[in-house]
Structure 1
């Protein structure tokens, strides 16, 4: 798998993502496809993979639900990526610890990590640059969340 995946034009960009090894990256690429124009933005990819929640607000009530119609194989692969990323990426680990500190369960925290990570390849492929941990986690800077970047450094 490693030998053949290395021939793909974007192999270096995909393999630079935290938590993706040669087998899991091939699985993610197979589910997403390699057409860079397939998704107009990273939100479309997040919705397709089922990582972004559906929020419905009506009056005083707000309901947050998981997506039902998704690519479940891709969602599973991204969940595995998030699990691997929390041990390999200091930024992902700090974000995971912050989420768990708010009393959110393990799987919900992993879904939030996966939601953050699934948009990264879209931007990397668009610009043709490999993953950079400082760029990937810079949106977490500010307010009480600046400790994540400090932990990632």
Structure 2
């Protein structure tokens, strides 16, 4: 007897689920409802304001069995998608690339209107069972916001330090040493004795920059303290991995979010860009470097690999083994990154199982 395969469309037909596609914009959201056969049964445009969510929910009340498909649920549609998810609605994220392909294949070519876009978003959700389910924002979103703030603060500190270096170069013979800190700069500035009015101006500006540098140092410390609290709340064990400190762990968790959206470690490696791409042709089997994927996660894996190679341990042993096999240092480092991707995936899956068991 042949095995029955699950068909998402047949499942929706049996349940008579209505799919509501939403094309979000800054000033308006357009919603189109279709039945399980793909026929349009409703359409409405909502002005974006404080009452948009309530108006949308009231409009959808006739359809008790429904799900929402939001184009770009991580971009312009984030607020509405999160409101729907928080209300317990079934919401999926439709990438704009998929809705654009559906528009090109539709009757009428690539003519673009908001109702047509919303219809294509709903149709993509109807025929694709692999779309990402939108979940309510939690600790991972907090960690991502904190790491983005940390990057901004560090970049601003670097800019200020460079400007302070330029001023001290003109005030001190030989200038200031590298790795300039606020305390080092303050000590150097105590010995400055300006002679000209121009040097007086430079010293005053340097004092202002020093005050700004101290303020940024405090903000960076406060930001990292917030990261440690958020990591503790997430109950992650990632920080036990050598080379993975507070900031890197926060960045990894913030960008990954729900690890269950990756069915295997191979899918996860593809997302991080640590899995090489198959470039085989005929009898020639070869792979090439993957320059895609999430570059922030790829950079984090690179830093972990470099730290492990430097500090010794199992990571260094694996790296040296690859060198002994004839790989170049860059190839051996990429092999270690691929292995670390698997390790991060397994740790996060284990943490998730423990958290679910604790809740149960």
Question: Could you state the TM-score of these two structures normalised by the residue count of structure 2?
Answer: 0.33
Give the superposition deviation at 1:127: 2.6
Greater CA drift, 40-49 or 83-92 = 83-92
What is the number of equivalent residue pairs in this alignment? Answer: 127
Aligned counterpart, 1:128: 351
Aligned counterpart, 1:31: 255
**Is it true that 1:15 corresponds to 2:15 in the alignment?**
no
* Residues 27 and 128 of structure 1: CA distance in aligned 2, closer, same or farther (over 3 Å): closer
- Post-superposition Cα deviations, 1:91-139, rounded to whole Å, max 9, x if no partner, equal 211110111223322222211111101111222232339xxxxxxxxxx
Give the whole-Å Cα distance in 2 for the aligned partners of 1:41 and 1:123.
10
Give the whole-Å Cα distance in 1 for the aligned partners of 2:259 and 2:294.
18
Give the whole-Å Cα distance in 2 for the aligned partners of 1:107 and 1:24.
22
> Among residues 302, 317, 328, which one is paired with 1:94 in the alignment?
317
> Among residues 308, 313, 316, which one is paired with 1:85 in the alignment?
308
Give the whole-Å Cα distance in 2 for the aligned partners of 1:82 and 1:8.
26
Q: CA RMSD in A?
A: 2.0
| Secondary structure of the structure 2 residue equivalent to 1:26 | helix
Give the whole-Å Cα distance in 1 for the aligned partners of 2:348 and 2:239.
12
Give the whole-Å Cα distance in 2 for the aligned partners of 1:54 and 1:92.
23
Higher strand share: 2
Over alpha carbons, which structure has the higher Rg?
2
* Preserved CA contact (<8 Å) 1:5 1:22: no
Unaligned runs of at least 5 residues, structure 1:
130-153
Aligned counterpart, 2:290: 67
Give the whole-Å Cα distance in 1 for the aligned partners of 2:240 and 2:255.
18
**Is it true that 1:116 corresponds to 2:343 in the alignment?**
no
Runs of 4+ in 1 over 3 A off after TM superposition: none
Q: Which has the higher contact order (CA 8 A, sep 6+)?
A: 1
Unaligned runs of at least 5 residues, structure 2:
1-223, 353-360
Question: Could you state the TM-score of these two structures normalised by the residue count of structure 1?
Answer: 0.72
Aligned counterpart, 1:105: 328
Give the whole-Å Cα distance in 1 for the aligned partners of 2:330 and 2:261.
28
Aligned counterpart, 1:132: none
